[in-house]
Structure 1
Amino acid sequence: MASFLDRQNTIAPPGYSRWLVPPAALAVHLSIGQIYGYSVFNKPLAHLLSGNVKADPAPGDWTVFQVGLIFSVALFFLGCSSALFGKWVERVGPRRTMFTSALLFCAGFLVAALGVSGHQLWLVILGNGVLGGIGLGLGYISPVSTLIKWFPDRPGLATGMAIMGFGGGALLGSPLGTTLMTHYTGQGYGNFGIVPTFVTMAVLYFILMMFGTFLVRVPADDWKPDGWTPTAARGGNAMITSHAVTVDGAMRTPQFWLLFAVLFLNVSAGIGVLGQASPMIQDVFGDAVRGAGAGVTAAAAAGFVGLLSIFNMAGRFFWSSTSDRIGRKATYMIFFALGAVLFVLIPTFGRSGSLPLFVAAFCVVISMYGGGFATIPAYLRDMFGTLNVGAIHGRLLLAWSAAAIVGPQVLTGISQAQKDAGVKPELAYDSVFYILAGLLVLGFVANLLVRPVAERHWATPDQIDRARATPGAAHD
């Protein structure tokens, strides 16, 4: 088994079809993308002792804010593990990385089940947050760097194929979690059936991730698509380099930190919405606003989470593919400008009671949020070349870690403070949306400042040769 996982044994033989690799990436990303559907557990987890999500929490129940930490911690550790293990991922290859990801991600569900059973929040956070988050990070970056190597002619398309699965994870995970909880509750399991639900999801996701682990391959060092010539040589696009920059060299460039800000601000504006999508829409359009029996139910809210997942997934493919035609910088300009306008308009849609416009605005916002994730690896490849792109991408994902703390806490913390101050639940999110619009304006400015990497940061031929001899090393 150990030798089967070695990078050397994953090198594709001559004639291997690169189109077999995207299904492997999708299998892993659809699994770990379950984190985007985690909000379906928020209210049940916050009412474990009361046993009724429509009743007031019982003494000792966890607060929604505390439960929201699970999502934030998971994404924090996603970014940290991506940065910490980026070089290791390049060195050992995608198969060993994806196998390790499956073990950690699925073990996280089992530990979290123990936490729910004993009503120990720290165990749930350790399971779904820490262990699951590390599994997320390893499973996230490995397929991305692999597909960039297989599709140098269409890097945006390649990253979109991989990362759209992560965005679509809630499309699978949200209804799966809801259905399993309903089933096990009907079978007489307490705690909303969360314990057996977590165990079942651990088994199912492990099987799916193993499919991707066994299927994945990496191209030989000298492989390239038939008839392909580098984009920079063909089109003369100054934003696409034909040179290479090492991972440590990239971190000394202003471009890396500008792109760090771009990712951080784009993610901060969207991640809080995904983490609280289900309770948010129930607050804004619930029975208290529309009348008894006429508001958005928990099942309908789960449908909203699923709809956002569709747009998150589709946006990753659509926008990253579009970036191959109009450029990464122009694509991000659209994200920030259009997103800021929509966040300013969303409170108006909520106050007017226009559920379709409210939902449509968030669908567009989340499509660009997902598109930002899918486009950033190709942006990095354009700026720094393919030599250490996987490790550079891992370092940049620290921006995701920071955004995972800032975004959800801005939305949850400020909205909860508004409610505590006596603001009606349906109005408690308005100020948050204006703040998120401001973050996108800052992102627009950061993206505007991105320029090609200066020649002094390019890797030397000797550094390139040594990096190819030992994948994952920086060699500065």
Structure 2
Amino acid sequence: MSVAAVYSPSFLSRERTVARSGFNRWLVPPAALAIHLCIGMAYGFSVFWLPLSRAVGVTAPVACPADMSFVQTIFATGCDWQISMLGWMYTLFFVFLGCSAAVFGGWLETAGPRKAGLVSALCWCGGLVISALGVKLHQIWMLWIGSGVIGGIGLGLGYISPVSTLIKWFPDRRGMATGMAIMGFGGGAMIGAPLADMLMKHFATPTSVGVTETFLAMAAIYFVFMIGGALGYRVPREGWKPAGWTPPAASTNAMVTSRHVHLDIAWKTPQFWLIWAVLCLNVSAGIGVIGMASPMLQEVFGGKLIGVDVKFAELSAVQKGQIAAIAAGFTGLLSLCNIAGRFLWASFSDKIGRKATYSVFFILGLVLYASVPTVAHQGSVLLFVLFFCIILSMYGGGFATVPAYLADMFGTHMVGAIHGRLLTAWATAGVLGPVLVNYLREFQLAAGIPREAAYDQTMYIMAGLLVLGLVCNLLVRAVAERHYMTDADVARLRKTSAAAVAARESGVHADFEDFLEEGKAGAAGGVRRDPSVAGMGSASLVVVGLAWAAVGLPLLWGVWITLQKAVVLFH
């Protein structure tokens, strides 16, 4: 009996995603970006709040009766939702992102990125469809369940699906590889928010704000891109490594292991919880600023933003509208720095190491946060903006660097699952950071502190959080020998067997994707080796170029729109 007859992996199995010889690893990052750019719209969902807050009234909100209970407002169809109710979707996004990543991370390692990517597409896009129905029927609970819960699960699966795969394809550039993918999550709102705004204007009528149709249109667009990304995933065969690359000797860097720690052991180690605290504290400091960036700039500088030496409270309605436009440019600029930082800092970590990179985040961030009040009181808008651009680049860089940090510490075999557990730090920071910024601001204002000085104490507290983060990072040491799996343990856990690969390559189970891979290898001259950019054939180069164009052109469009808004900041 042939190997193929013994083992017949399904199309969605991890075994069927094992790349044939000759597959170009540079096709994997755009597949990851295709998914991350779609689910990254979670950051831009606030573009729907105002239209949804007048879904009934269309031109103006219709207030619910004062004696209506909260439960009644959930099911009411004759009055509009408050923005505070809609904002629960944003909270649910990141709570369920962290929870689903933690729960399904282990499943992902055995199921493979293709299956996880497909489930992510079904959840995220299906959630948008349910939300569209919720808007049509005016039932906010359907938005909470559709986008918040089901969509949040899709976020978690889509977010972690490429991490383990990219790290295995780029052992020589772990930081850069994860930075490229996670950059997409930061860039999703840059594309999705202006796209949603354009679609709502297109679908709006005298009797509709156009959100229902926009949700459905975006669900269809995202589904195509996410399915394309999921089907584009491939995992390297066991023992594969880039041509000409030699793994560093273990003795040269004790902080980078070539062995593996099991998920059930990894999360119990002090290293895991120290890195958990490192990520949580780094994100807490940055996420609070993101949520309050616009009002903070307006209240700190007031009329100085438009050349008028008056405080924020003394501005006219027209003047407040002018500085609001400038603050929107500031917010857009911060999003660009967030995105750029994910790629640049993660790539930089390949040069100096993850621990050193996080030390830079905390030391430089400490200096910048502590200097912000002085810069603000001096009235230097340029330095204020520059400082926060650097801070937000390190916020994004922290997300992109941590998967490589985990791979260095615990090995690559279960890094996706370990990363999933670690993302509970993000969910925690998503509560801690905004609460600190918002409530400290309210406390300062209630105590009679002027608006322009209301953020001073907050900045000092953020600097204190970074001191704690620095201490946690410095305490990280190499994992103890007793925690590593033996070679026999690793072999037993591997789901991609030689029989599965042999069955796939025997031709008995060849399918359309195999045909395409054979065509790409043949067009490149039949060269079967690690195809770096320098070694690509012309046909292979075209395929890679088209894959990158599919994700790069929308991203460039989003950058262009954001830059246009940011220019207002400097006028």
TM (normalized to structure 2)? 0.74
- Computed over aligned residues only, the root mean square deviation of the Cα atoms, in angstroms, reads 3.1
* In structure 2, distance between residues paired with 1:397 and 1:387: 18
1:91-122 Cα deviation digits (max 9, x unpaired): 11111111110111112222333444455443
1:187-232 Cα deviation digits (max 9, x unpaired): 43534x3333322222221122122122111111121111222124
Q: Which residue of 2 aligns with 1:397?
A: 423
Find the residue that maps to 2:239 and give its secondary structure. coil
- Corresponding position: 1:273 with 2:273: no
Q: Which residue of 1 aligns with 2:474?
A: 448
Q: Which amino acid aligns with 2:42?
A: I
CA, structure 1 residues 317+197, in 2 after alignment: closer, same or farther (shift >3 Å)? same
Q: Which residue of 2 aligns with 1:199?
A: 216
Determine which of 330, 334, 354 is the counterpart of 1:328: 354
Determine which of 305, 318, 325 is the counterpart of 1:293: 318
Q: Which residue of 2 aligns with 1:27?
A: 34
1:95-106 matches, cutoff 5 A: 95-106=114-125
Displacement of 1:244: 1.6
Gaps in structure 2 of 5+ consecutive residues? 1-8, 67-78, 304-310, 498-571
Q: Which residue of 2 aligns with 1:433?
A: 459
Displacement of 1:89: 0.7
Find the residue that maps to 2:23 and give its secondary structure. coil
Query: Is the contact between residue 298 and residue 327 of structure 2 (CA under 8 Å) also seen in structure 1?
Result: yes
Q: Which residue of 2 aligns with 1:175?
A: 194
Q: Which residue of 1 aligns with 2:403?
A: 377
Displacement of 1:320: 0.6
CA, structure 1 residues 164+243, in 2 after alignment: closer, same or farther (shift >3 Å)? same
Q: Which residue of 1 aligns with 2:515?
A: none
Determine which of 106, 129, 139 is the counterpart of 1:110: 129
Determine which of 226, 237, 242 is the counterpart of 2:258: 242
Displacement of 1:6: 2.1
Find the residue that maps to 1:231 and give its secondary structure. coil
Q: Which residue of 2 aligns with 1:82?
A: 101
Displacement of 1:461: 2.1
Bigger CA drift: 374-383 or 220-229? 220-229
Q: Which residue of 2 aligns with 1:474?
A: none
Bigger CA drift: 405-414 or 281-290? 281-290
1:141-184 Cα deviation digits (max 9, x unpaired): 11111100101111111111111111111211222233333333
Displacement of 1:254: 0.7
Q: Which residue of 2 aligns with 1:465?
A: 491
Q: Which residue of 1 aligns with 2:248?
A: 231
Displacement of 1:452: 0.8
CA, structure 1 residues 399+452, in 2 after alignment: closer, same or farther (shift >3 Å)? same
- Corresponding position: 1:93 with 2:93: no
TM (normalized to structure 1)? 0.88
Displacement of 1:420: 6.9
* In structure 1, distance between residues paired with 2:212 and 2:110: 37
Q: Which residue of 2 aligns with 1:71?
A: 90
Displacement of 1:302: 4.6
* In structure 2, distance between residues paired with 1:420 and 1:112: 38
- Corresponding position: 1:144 with 2:163: yes
CA, structure 1 residues 349+200, in 2 after alignment: closer, same or farther (shift >3 Å)? farther
Determine which of 143, 159, 171 is the counterpart of 1:124: 143
* In structure 1, distance between residues paired with 2:332 and 2:224: 22
Gaps in structure 1 of 5+ consecutive residues? 472-476
Query: Is the contact between residue 62 and residue 80 of structure 2 (CA under 8 Å) also seen in structure 1?
Result: no
CA, structure 1 residues 51+274, in 2 after alignment: closer, same or farther (shift >3 Å)? farther
* In structure 2, distance between residues paired with 1:175 and 1:419: 34
Bigger CA drift: 219-228 or 355-364? 355-364
Query: Is the contact between residue 164 and residue 414 of structure 2 (CA under 8 Å) also seen in structure 1?
Result: no
* In structure 1, distance between residues paired with 2:58 and 2:446: 23
Determine which of 190, 208, 213 is the counterpart of 2:208: 190
* In structure 2, distance between residues paired with 1:122 and 1:252: 37
Counting matched residue pairs gives 467
* In structure 1, distance between residues paired with 2:81 and 2:374: 32
Q: Which residue of 1 aligns with 2:16?
A: 9
* In structure 1, distance between residues paired with 2:416 and 2:460: 35
Query: Is the contact between residue 124 and residue 151 of structure 2 (CA under 8 Å) also seen in structure 1?
Result: yes
1:150-165 matches, cutoff 5 A: 150-165=169-184
Q: Which residue of 1 aligns with 2:436?
A: 410
Larger Rg: 2
* In structure 2, distance between residues paired with 1:69 and 1:430: 29
CA, structure 1 residues 207+346, in 2 after alignment: closer, same or farther (shift >3 Å)? farther
Q: Which residue of 2 aligns with 1:337?
A: 363
Bigger CA drift: 11-20 or 48-57? 48-57
Q: Which amino acid aligns with 2:437?
A: L
Find the residue that maps to 1:293 and give its secondary structure. helix
Q: Which amino acid aligns with 2:190?
A: L
* In structure 2, distance between residues paired with 1:51 and 1:362: 37
1:377-434 Cα deviation digits (max 9, x unpaired): 1111111111211111111111112122222333344445656777666655444333
* In structure 2, distance between residues paired with 1:380 and 1:174: 32
Find the residue that maps to 1:459 and give its secondary structure. coil
CA, structure 1 residues 189+88, in 2 after alignment: closer, same or farther (shift >3 Å)? farther
Determine which of 358, 373, 386 is the counterpart of 1:360: 386
Query: Is the contact between residue 239 and residue 451 of structure 1 (CA under 8 Å) also seen in structure 2?
Result: yes
* In structure 1, distance between residues paired with 2:31 and 2:85: 35
Query: Is the contact between residue 126 and residue 219 of structure 2 (CA under 8 Å) also seen in structure 1?
Result: yes
Query: Is the contact between residue 32 and residue 139 of structure 1 (CA under 8 Å) also seen in structure 2?
Result: yes
